[in-house]
Structure 1
Amino acid sequence: MSGLTARIRGSSGWPVPGAVLTVTDLTGRQLARATTDSSGLATTEPLPPGTHTAVVTAPGHQPVAQLARISAAGGGRLGEIRLQPEAGAVAMPPPGPWTIDPAHSTVMVTARHLGIAGIRARFAEVGGRLEIAGTFEQSTGYAEIKAATVDTGVTMRDNHLRSTDFLDADHYPLITFAGNGFRRTGGDTWVMPGELALHGRARPVDLAVTYGGFGPDPWGGTRMAFHAETLLHREDFAIDYNAIVRAGIAAVGATVQVELDIELVQGEALPSL
């Protein structure tokens, strides 16, 4: 037996997965709580008969409160509820393919050196695309980075990073990420889970994404941008170089911070500028 049901959609009519339906009595005591599924449907357990308050919340959207009338059998229906974007929320990009512009995208990694300093490296060549679905949450993405383009500004160190001690770029020339969907965490913040392939190993990785919006460019196209971060553990990808210097301090830290600033052009190919 089900209790109160509601189907939650955004202002554009698409389902809002992960929205929360909370039911309280008229004194404010919580009676039930349910989360919407991928179709936007939320269903609570059976509730006490009478009139209660139902509140729907979702990151990036304004909350909605309604009265809910529950039958003697413990059930009721709110029907379809439309959520509006919260004030200041950034508009979502139009559906379709978007292509990464390498000239306006940056991939930076930071590793600890001797336990006290951060060494930053840039990967100069990144490409890929996003397929924006009708609902942003169902969008997918793919990116690839050429491992040999790592650049710290020191030739000897760059050659060491390309060697078998680290990236082994001759045997594993590409670092790839395949993302599957987005989960909203705030007005313009999301998490994109996916699989990262690096150094011959593939592991699940979550990208924390801040979406910057979209708009026209000076060349007649449309662009969007986002910033993404994640933390990797070298041993997860069999990069176990661990030279020890005096006092027992590791020369290179076990974790690597990754930051991406990505700009994409609407369409399946980059324009000729």
Structure 2
Amino acid sequence: MALGLLRRRRPRGASGAAPGLSVSLPPGAGAFGCEVVDPTGQPMRGAEVTVTALDSHRVVARGTTDPYGLFMATLPPGTYSVMTAADGLSPARKQVDIAADVALPLTRVPLLPARQLELPPPGTWLFDPPHTAIRFIAKHVGMAHVHGRFTRFDGGIRVAQNMADSQISVRIDASSISTGNRTRDNHLRSGDFLDVERFPFIDFVSTRFVYRGGSKWTLHGTLTMHGTSRTVGLDTTYLGTVNGGYDQELRCAALAKAELHREDFTLNWRSMLARGIAVVGPTVQLELDVQAMYRTPETPTPPE
């Protein structure tokens, strides 16, 4: 594990010079530090740095760079893999050898633009249910997490000539919720939560695609659940396009995630605590692992 974080210090009179490390090391420890810069050479704040021990393959240090693009840590002697990553940029990997009582010179790590995957051809793409999953993770009050999924859904993507003008629509059968516990699932379908008899569907219709660099997009749109509509953003990673499947269909894939707040959709506790049923906490992590097949150049019909 990491023994601590270090601070950088510039020698007096060395304005603009590369910063060095001035540290007080714990007995037997060594130090590693890096300065992460963006493609223009400017210090990059918030880049993620992960340090993994090569002998055990365990992550021993993880954090983000400070406003000066710096990440520093003290480590036990050994050999480590250091991975640096940021949205829209290609990850950088470096191997470092840490020796006892030695602070390595500060390493400059440039992050380069990520190779942009070829976007899918314009036209209609329909979700392939056997290769698509709509999952969620919710905090079980006072205990562990509840993992679940919806097993019945339909969806389509209209890919426009300009990807930013594309649209996606998803309709989920609310009664298909499954967490592996029949009592809990029946309660989630009841009037205390999804109330599937009154609100049988959960719908998402996008309003705009926003490019974030590399393979990252944000899909803004309207989510309607339990009779309430809210604007949400799906943080989406485009995974590429391939020819595959039984008939060698043209397919594209993406992974989208969002955090939902249960009370935004008027999903409240009602009487379940009185009945001793503590189901989920206030937030739910939603994940769409989508594979879609090319069908026609026509626009898919949004859910009604």
TM (normalized to structure 1)?
Answer: 0.64
User: Hey, which bits of structure 1, 4+ residues long, moved more than 2 A?
Assistant: 85-88, 242-245
Contact 1:99 1:268 in 2 (8 A): no
1:195 counterpart = 2:222 = yes
Post-superposition CA distance 1:196-247 (Å, at most 9, x none): 00000011010000100111014131000100000111111110126558xx
Q: What is the number of residues matched between the two proteins? A: 189
Contact 2:169 2:206 in 1 (8 A): yes
Structure 1 portions without partners, runs of 5+: 1-58, 62-84
Q: CA deviation at 1:268?
A: 4.4
Go from structure 1 to structure 2 and tell me whether the alpha carbon gap of 1:153 and 1:159 turns closer, same or farther (over 3 Å shift): same
Q: CA deviation at 1:182?
A: 1.0
SS of 1:94 mapped into structure 2: coil
Post-superposition CA distance 1:61-106 (Å, at most 9, x none): 9xxxxxxxxxxxxxxxxxxxxxxx9552211110011111111110
For 1:121, which of 148, 155, 169 is the aligned residue?
Answer: 148
Contact 1:229 1:259 in 2 (8 A): yes
- 2:280 maps to which residue? 252
- 2:121 maps to which residue? 94
Q: Give distance in 2, aligned partners of 1:154 and 1:60.
A: 39
Contact 1:121 1:150 in 2 (8 A): yes
- 2:231 maps to which residue? 204
RMSD: 2.7
Q: Give distance in 2, aligned partners of 1:268 and 1:161.
A: 37
Q: Give distance in 2, aligned partners of 1:251 and 1:142.
A: 29
Structure 2 portions without partners, runs of 5+: 1-86, 90-111, 298-304
Contact 1:234 1:255 in 2 (8 A): yes
Contact 1:230 1:259 in 2 (8 A): yes
1:235 counterpart = 2:263 = yes
- 2:170 maps to which residue? 143
SS of 1:159 mapped into structure 2: helix
Letter in 2 for 1:111: A
Which residues of 2 match residues 23-172 of structure 1 at below 5 A? Answer: 86=113, 88-172=115-199
Q: Give distance in 1, aligned partners of 2:208 and 2:281.
A: 31
Q: Give distance in 2, aligned partners of 1:221 and 1:255.
A: 37
Q: CA deviation at 1:116?
A: 3.7
Go from structure 1 to structure 2 and tell me whether the alpha carbon gap of 1:221 and 1:152 turns closer, same or farther (over 3 Å shift): same
Go from structure 1 to structure 2 and tell me whether the alpha carbon gap of 1:121 and 1:115 turns closer, same or farther (over 3 Å shift): same
SS of 2:137 mapped into structure 1: strand
Q: Give distance in 1, aligned partners of 2:218 and 2:196.
A: 29
Contact 1:105 1:126 in 2 (8 A): no
Contact 1:140 1:181 in 2 (8 A): yes
1:177 counterpart = 2:204 = yes
Q: CA deviation at 1:154?
A: 1.0
Q: CA deviation at 1:60?
A: 5.5
Letter in 2 for 1:264: A
TM (normalized to structure 2)?
Answer: 0.57
Letter in 1 for 2:116: A
Letter in 2 for 1:236: D
- 1:262 maps to which residue? 290
Post-superposition CA distance 1:156-188 (Å, at most 9, x none): 111111000111111111100001221111200
Letter in 2 for 1:107: I
- 2:36 maps to which residue? none
Post-superposition CA distance 1:110-147 (Å, at most 9, x none): 11112441101110012110000001111011001000
Q: Give distance in 2, aligned partners of 1:182 and 1:115.
A: 37
Contact 1:191 1:208 in 2 (8 A): yes
Letter in 1 for 2:233: D
Contact 2:146 2:280 in 1 (8 A): no
